[in-house]
Amino acid sequence: MPTMPYWMNKTPEMVAMDRWFSGPDLVVKYSNAINSVLASQLSNALPATSDVLDNELPGQQAGAFAHFGRDWLNPGNPSSGGRYWPHVPTFTIISWFQIGVLHAARKGLGWTELTNRGDDPLQVFEPEMNWSAMVESDLDGVLPLVTTWVCSSPAGTGTVEVDAVRGPTAVEMIIATPQPKTMRSRINDEVQAVIDAQWIILHGGASANDQVNNDDYEPPSEPEP
């Protein structure tokens, strides 16, 4: 993340999650993830190990946990945040991730496996049924997980949120955080060129565009009725 220059990207840990939750034994992997989160909630402590990192990023687990516990969280003061978002309390970040992972794993298991676990698929898939017009047959079967991270608000504002939604081919878990530094879309330059061209068409000439870029432009006054 320290070198992440865009507002949407994947870290190595997210790639590891995508790989882990797209391979074999998904029922076991999702079930283990659910049990791990539930245990951490009961003990009021984050898991100390990770099957995902152990298997997909061998030897890097300690560094990943250190990054999470230093840059995202403030273990010494749960009411404060880590280095990247000091205004976002640690305990809220943990809560968002715990519930977000639970939702993603349950949605990944599908209707039948949820029923076998004693969970209520009607509750788990309420958004998909109400908003996506999906039916039970659409929501059955085990699907892989895809993680997405967006920096959805300017640095120093906003909060951390997590959500999950199931589609026809995969479950998406979205992590939304404020920007740790100024970021922009990869296609910013391309879009800006189009916007500049449109401005020239709308306002008559490159000189107006230059004035806008230099904060010297004054729009023409509206004609009196």
Nearest to 7 by CA among 146, 193, 194, 174: 174
DSSP H helices, 7-157, are: 12-20, 26-43, 51-56, 61-67, 90-117, 121-124, 126-131
Q: Which amino acid is at 79?
A: S
Structure-token pair, residue 74: 């403030």
The tens digit of pLDDT for each residue in 17-37 reads: 999 999 999 999 999 999 999
Backbone angles phi, psi at 64, to 5 degrees: -65, -45
Least confident of 52-61, 123-132, 157-166, 176-185: 176-185
> Which has the higher per-residue pLDDT, 102 or 82?
102
205 pLDDT band (50/70/90 cuts)? low
Report which of residues 185 and 105 the model is more confident about: 105
Measured over the CA atoms of residue 54, residue 98, residue 181 and residue 79, the dihedral's sign is negative
- Cβ pair 61, 49 in contact under 8 A: yes
Sign of the alpha-carbon torsion through 186, 10, 183, 178: positive
Measured between alpha carbons, how far is 55 from 24 in angstroms, rounded to an integer?
A: 13
CA distance 36 to 165: 21
Enter the pTM of the model.
Answer: 0.77
Considering the chain, what is the average pLDDT of its residues?
83
pLDDT average, residue stretch 172-197: 73
CB contact set of 86 (below 8 Å; sequence gap of 6+): 74, 80
- Identify whether the C-beta of residue 127 lies closer than 8 Å to the C-beta of residue 107: no
113 has a pLDDT exceeding 70: yes
In single-letter form, the type of residue at position 210 comes to: D
Rounded to the nearest 10°, the torsion over CA 41, 14, 64, 101 is: 0
Q: What is the mean pLDDT of residues 46-68?
A: 86
Q: What is the Cα–Cα distance from 70 to 79, expressed in whole angstroms?
A: 14
